[in-house]
Amino acid sequence: MTKLDSRVGEPSAPTNFIKQIVAADLAAGKNDGRVVTRFPPEPNGYLHIGHAKSICLNFGLSAEVGGFTHLRFDDTDPAKESMEYVESIKEDVRWLGFDWQDKVFFASDYFEQLYDFAVQLIRIGKAYVDHLTADEIREYRGTLTQPGKDSPCRNRSVEENLDLFRRMRAGEFKDGECVLRAKIDMAAPNIVMRDPTLYRIKRVSHYRTGERWCIYPMYDFTHCLSDMLEGITHSICTLEFENNRELYDWVLDTLRTPCHPQQIEFARLNLNYTVLSKRKLIELVEKGIVTGWDDPRMPTISGYRRRGYTPEAIRNFCERIGVARADSTVDIGLMEHCLREDLNRRAPRVMAVLRPLKVTLVNYPEGRIEELDAINNPEDPTMGSRRVPFSREIFIEREDFLEAPPKKFFRLAPGREVRLRYAYFITCQEVVKDPLTGEVTELRCTYDPATRGGDAPDGRKVQGTLHWVSVAHAVPAEVRLYNHLFTQENPGDVATGGHFTDHINPASLEVLTGCRLEPGLAAAAPGSPYQFERLGYFCADAGDSRPDRLVFNRSVTLRDTWAKIVKKETGGTKGAGK
């Protein structure tokens, strides 16, 4: 079982610990009153919801105090990076509602400067070229309880190191034949500080610098210097870099750089029933387990967008989960709650029937069509109303009829009267079945003309209200219903064993063909949200929906388990569920 974060849902504190640090720095006049943060993705995959947390945090921090946030592509590992990823990242950050203005940078633009910094380290005796193999380096590193030991190359002269490093760059050595290492302390209690590698040889073409380089700088060397070159004041990263902070500071201190950004760590976002690691997400894409990075079941920003999530809902979610220094897992139900809360206000309500059952109103005149008034959103009167066509033949939801209803079933049944939303009371008179299969194929009902609009003048009540569409007017559509992509809260958890793909939910996608929508939906813009009454929030699929072949995604159901929890804990956030 995943331990869920019990903090979420609490009223978000006016400030988090990073905001407090920034405020204190401003008050103390540090950095001449500037606040510059950065969001530094590696362009080796699409952004996911964890990145959204980092984006909201970094851009939010600087925006609050009139600072800047740089978008920096941390592209020093050429094997898996590409321009496609760069473009997708820009699109996703923009879509989330953030603006880096002209502050877009690439670590690969610093390659020459980084090389010079490495030469400087060699010159002052703080870096050396090592010919140990990768295995030997690991072996020499020691363990948490045992100090490492010095490489035989550690005491090479400055001249020899300068020459070897120049030759590394010139391509005179094979991949892996040697590396450049910082000369720090092989007995340092923090293993990161035991002469970390700064450069390795890698004959891989880079998507921006091509074949120009065959040596590439390591993350720990690149990141602090990139931050410094850009004048970043607060370099915010996830907790797994806590041990690397000492090295971050060592590089800048040793090179006596003119500015020294402060690294601050926070807990990464984990969501239950979800994997948030690019490596795993790539595997889902490459193995064809999902249809692509923007498959609506993916926890990527592009997946959420296609599914029908709004930037507002995601930003609100990131605000609610807060920023802490302890790792925890957030319930995916909170995300869904944030989406409902947003869509409840903005999505027009319409009628759609996912599994149609035909109803003929035997006493309704043949050929007659009425245009009935329907309210677009009771939450927002300014959204007005629309006309919905009604006729003798309609579709209702198959599950809204039961021939032998159990006690608490208040919908349609033989002899029973219910309300058709915005239309009339109808009573089921006859059930038509397929003679071979016994399946119910049609209901023959009567309607009460006195109940137009959905109210009986004699005050008689009905217990059920059904949504419907007119057979002759409804437009056909395919509707895709989604479920968690994984069956386990913590897919691939060591305790549950196995590989994370062993826990794929076979029912994560249900495709319904033959659905019928009220006619106005033929013109729905892809991604534009609607509430299908009683069924959830939906949008036309941006990838597959065409005017002649409508495809809708269910963004989220109406059932909200979080509404109550949040309401109780905050004393009032309004839930959207019903």
d(CA 106, CA 226): 9
Length of the chain: 578
Q: Is residue 278 annotated as part of the catalytic site, yes or no?
A: yes
Helix (H) or strand (E) holding 387: strand 385-390
Buried b (16+ CB within 10 A) or exposed e, 563-573: bebbeeeeeeb
- Which listed residue (38, 126, 245, 278) is catalytic? 278
The residues near 509 (Cβ < 8 Å, ≥ 6 apart) are: 297, 480, 481, 482, 483
Catalytic pick from 7, 42, 80, 398? 42
Side-chain-side CA neighbours of 14 within 13 Å: the count stands at: 1
DSSP string, 34-103: --EEEE---SSS--BHHHHHHHHHHHHHHHHTT-EEEEEE----GGG--HHHHHHHHHHHHHHT---TT-
CA atoms within 13 A on the CB side of 474: 25
- Closest to 249 (Cα-Cα) out of 259, 238, 260, 240: 260
SS3 (DSSP) at 343: helix
Strand partners, 552: 479, 540
Q: Which two tokens stand for residue 18?
A: 């990073």
Instruction: Return the sign of the alpha-carbon dihedral for residues 517, 520, 522, 528.
Output: negative
Query: 319 in helix, strand or coil?
Result: helix
Q: How many CA within 13 A on the CB side of residue 424?
A: 21
Which chain residues interact with ligand ATP by CB under 6 A?
Answer: 40-42, 50-51, 53-54, 237-238, 268-269, 276-279
Residue 42 or 312: the one with the smaller Cβ distance to ligand ATP is 42
Contact 425, 418 (CB under 8 A): yes
Token pair recorded at residue 88: 């997708």
Strand order in the sheet with 536-540: 349-350, 530-532, 536-540, 550-556, 475-482, 509-517, 352-353
Q: CA–CA separation, 260 vs 123, rounded Å?
A: 21
Least Cα distance to 88 among 315, 312, 305, 317 occurs for: 305
Q: Cα separation of 445 and 429, whole Å?
A: 5
**CA dist., res. 575 & res. 578, Å (int):** 9
In the complex, least distance from residue 277 CB atom to ligand ATP, rounded to whole angstroms: 4
d(CA 73, CA 62): 19
Nearer to ligand ATP, 349 or 484 (CB): 484
Could you give the count of Cα atoms lying within 13 Å of 463 in the half-sphere of its Cβ? 9
Name the DSSP class of 489. Answer: S
Structure tokens at 420: 């058709």
Q: Considering the candidates 7, 34, 149, 268, report the single residue annotated as catalytic.
A: 268
Residue 117 CB: number of other CB atoms within 10 A? 21
42 as an active site residue: the answer is yes
Residue 507 CB neighbours (<10 A): 10
Catalytic positions are 42, 268, 278
